A and B are shown apart, each in its own frame.
Chain A
Amino acid sequence: MISTPFLHVKNLTVSYKKGKIVFTAVKNVSLTLEQGKTLGLVGESGCGKTTLGRSILQFHKSDSGQVLLQGNDLSAMNTDSLNRYRPLMQMIFQNPYRSLNPRMTVLDILSEPIRIKERISQKNCIQKVSELMLKTGLDPFMMRKFPHEFSGGQRQRIAIARALAANPLLVIADEPVSSLDVSVQAQILNLLREIHEKMNLSMIFISHDLSVVRYISDDIAVMYQGKIVEKGPCDRLFSNPLHPYTKTLLSAIPVADPSKSFYTKVDIDNEFIPEETENGCLYSNRCPFIMDICKEAEPALETVDNNSNHECACHLINSGS
């Protein structure tokens, strides 16, 4: 029996209009997420990962495709029905300086999600807010302070607490640690992992930093120019990356080891090649392994071995070499 996946994104395409130009940020993307698991969504700027995350939460209308949460099609719902689903799926944003209303105290910010469904007395609110703050490593006696009185890391904790306050089933974290210092990053990542494990949340973790994603994800999807080029269990992807782009990403990561100079392997002269290829693989212009078929036909996302969940969209890999 095939069970309904917790989250099922089917052939999602999302585009923007920039003046007269139409830019397709997400091209026919499909993915599934099991309950209680974390999917890491990785890619560089412009790959569409943020747009994908926002479209899943219906912040942005998609051109075509479906987003099914526990079998319910979010993309087909009217505003009222959708608003009833919204508390179940929350987002943690990248910029801790813009994701909190500067005029609201922490108490205001955290009680707003709590009060959506029920009328709660102020005393009970304070109790619930205290619990949330303790859960995210904050001092409850600071709840009447304003966002600007906290550091970046603390603000991000408040943002996490706000996401949790609505009792969500799905949390999408959009680059939650990118604006933070390395040592604070570690604190927030540990917190997210702890919450994910304790509350059995389903999470999508969006980041451009593979080393951060590795720590927190069960599965990883690598995006390039609006498409998923490789997908699979975290450990497999790191131990055996297949798509040329994934390999490039991995080799470009700074490593705290003076004997490894990570940046010398990247091709400096070919950064600005135009991306557009009419029908073929979007990565073909940069790929060192290019074959004739790469320029003609787009590779499909296919499983690599029949047993694993490892998928790759590359003619070279899929042909079995």
Chain B
Amino acid sequence: MNTDQLRLLLPDYVAGTLSEQERALVEAALAQSPELRSELEDIAVVFAAFPAKQLRQELDWRARTISAAVSQHLGAAAVPRRVWWRLAAGAMAAGALAVWAMVGLQKHDQPPLPSAVALNQKVAPVQQTATTDTHAPASSLPQAQPHPKSYPDAAVQRHDSVMARLTLDALAMATFPDDAIDSQFVEHFVEVFSDASTY
């Protein structure tokens, strides 16, 4: 290794980052060259003026807020994703509600199911028997016919009401953030929505 190559090792020699072999070569060259020794002094002055450890500590201190800022940003960025999820869930719940309502309306307009007709026919003689105790002639009594609107009955309507309530609850829960929802809010939401969609 010539003097020029050894000269380039001086900063690393001062910093103590040379291998044993390189270090021995530099020390041998320094012993023979006043010029190299002068350069070594200059380099030592620079390193003493700017201690690497001190610089790193200052930089660490300056950069200390970056991780918190990035975490905060990533946390904030995650919120819209939750909102989108809620909106999607809300839309799905609303869709399900709409489908359910349409099916329900169609069901009301449809003729009664055969089983319901049979049930009504079974009930009819009992009604007739009951009415035979009156003075009205049996022939004048109206023929027991299943009324188209007699199905769904009260139980089905209760079921419909419960289902509507559950669906609206799900819609409210999915559409609004957790902190906006309490039992009173859900009650109010369901009340307003139920009025609007009148079952």
Mutual binders A and B: no
Chain A residues in contact with chain B, CB under 8 A? none
Chain B residues in contact with chain A, CB under 8 A? none
